[in-house]
Amino acid sequence: MSTQSGESSHVLDLDSVNQNVKKMEYAVRGPLVIRAGEIEKELKAGKNDKPFNGVIRANIGDCHATGQKPLTFIRQVIACCTDTTLLDDPKYPKDVKEKVKLLLSYCGGNSVGSYSDSAGIEIIRRHCAEYIAERDGIPSNWQDIVLTNGASEAVKFVLALINSSSTDDKPTGVLIPIPQYPLYTATLAEYAMHPIKYYLDEGNEWKLNIAELKRALDNDRSLCRPKAIVIINPGNPTGSVLNKENIKEIINFAKEEKLIIIADEVYQHNVYKEGAAFHSFKKVMHELGINLELASLMSSSKGFMGECGLRGGYCEFINLKPEIKALFLKMLSARLCCSILGQITMDCVVAPPKPGDPSYDLFTSEKNSTLESLKAKAKLAAETFNSIPGMKSNPVAGAMYAFPQIMLPEKAIKEARDAGVEPDFFYAKNLLETTGICIVPGSGFGQIPGTYHFRTTILPQFEELKKMMDRLKTFHLQFLEKYK
């Protein structure tokens, strides 16, 4: 639309919008995912010129979208909270009804349609503190915990709090792992903060090398004001699990460099490798007798729950000065509150049925079944990748992803460069068009220059994952033959 003078009436154009938004990238929902959606529509419309009948979306950790069943207890609590007439239905267990009545008693008007306190419903924050205390064997203060719309919102709030890029002479710097979950680079770009990229040690099952942390920090120190280090454990996209000694080294490094630790621990229930275990940064820090500012993030989207769409999460932010904690809570108040149903979902995770409760046996059975299935799929994925020429993978020790390295032929690399795309994007695009498998190229997460990877979830149901692995193996061998 134009004015009578012929000039555009639009206020916004690509030069007048926030330039930081233009810099943002989010690979797990990037162009390959858009193309996957287009292919799905083509198949539904009968334009089936592809050698497959459907798209396998292995690009994002969306558990229920790939067939994981919701836990009965969580859905029963949600159902009764939203429709309280179900409290009179005899098919709902007694412990479900008791939890619902307790939670609703903390909601305005006994309704999930009311706002909560900005930091979240008090009883749920208390339950989170009890969960953390039981997990770590040390006290947790419920007033250090805020409830969020998934862990992603918590990441953005913590980074917003520490960001002084607009007032300092240099942007605020944050150490982030490479490869990393793209939320971090996207948010740092949006906030005009500086990512200090440190490489994980692929040859040592993606551990953190302290010499590499120092190299990255020293390299970028003149470009920014370093304030924090992000650790993702268990790892996304790597599927790694850090041992306690490595965590101790990281904590001592953070102390030496005066850095806040942002511990992304949303996959804490997902540990599969024999001998591996989840160790929270809070517990290890306590054992070392070190008190650093620490933000620990948890979510109901991952783990055995997979309730991605309900958007539940928490952040325990400890060792803050009282005046900084007050600022953090003030910042939260601007969003009024996070999803009440997300908060209730989080409560079901941190305060599940106890032994002797009517729902306990079914809840435990469903939880264990989900985790055992993920463990089997983690083993299948790593073994398959390591059986394919020109591909290798570390063990999928935890989380719900594999990040294998692919050795691409020079001819394929040249063709990709000539087309103006990254070689692993070129590979992933060919894979999608040939097999219907949607993965994310490693360049979307970051990788050592000259190496190529892709991230895939291990979420498809076992038989579907086997089919996907067979298709991928056939494609890869044909790709190598084509470009040898």
Burial class (CB in 10 A: 0-12, 13-18, 19+), 259: buried
pLDDT attached to residue 386: 97
Share of the chain above pLDDT 90, in %: 79
How far apart, in whole angstroms, are the C-alpha atoms of residue 326 and residue 144? Answer: 11
pLDDT attached to residue 23: 61
395-409 average pLDDT score: 96
| CATH of region 98-350, choose from 3.75.10.10, 3.40.640.10, 3.40.50.2000, 3.50.7.10 | 3.40.640.10
Tell me the two tokens of residue 282.
Answer: 């809070």
Residue among 265, 243, 258, 332 at smallest CA distance from 291: 258
pLDDT attached to residue 167: 87
Provide, for the chain, the percentages of residues in helix, strand and coil under a 3-state DSSP scheme, each rounded to the nearest 5: 50, 15, 40
pLDDT attached to residue 143: 96
Per DSSP, the residues of 56-113 read: EE-SS--TGGGTPPPPHHHHHHHHHHH-GGGGG-TTS-HHHHHHHHHHHHTSGGG-TT
pLDDT attached to residue 26: 53
| pLDDT confidence band for 405 (50 / 70 / 90) | very high
pLDDT attached to residue 184: 92
Is the pLDDT score of 21 beyond 70?
no
Could you report the per-residue pLDDT of 378-401, keeping only the tens digit for each?
A: 999 999 999 999 999 999 999 999
Residue labelled with tokens 């917003």:
160
372-383 average pLDDT score: 96
Share of the chain above pLDDT 70, in %: 94
Q: Do domains 19-67+367-483 and 98-350 have the same CATH topology?
A: no
Tell me the two tokens of residue 420.
Answer: 């103006």
Q: Return the CATH number of the domain spanning residue range 19-67+367-483.
A: 3.90.1150.10
Is the pLDDT score of 2 beyond 50?
no
67-78 average pLDDT score: 95
Is the pLDDT score of 7 beyond 90?
no
Residue among 171, 162, 274 at smallest CA distance from 229: 162
Omega of the bond leading into 139 within 30 degrees of 0 (cis): no
pLDDT attached to residue 1: 44
Is the pLDDT score of 195 beyond 60?
yes
Residue 17 half-sphere exposure, CB side, CA atoms within 13 Å?
10
Query: Where are the chain's structural domains?
Result: 19-67+367-483, 98-350
pLDDT attached to residue 97: 98
Omega of the bond leading into 179 within 30 degrees of 0 (cis): yes
Cβ-contact 3, 9 below 8 angstroms: yes
| pLDDT confidence band for 27 (50 / 70 / 90) | low
Omega of the bond leading into 237 within 30 degrees of 0 (cis): yes
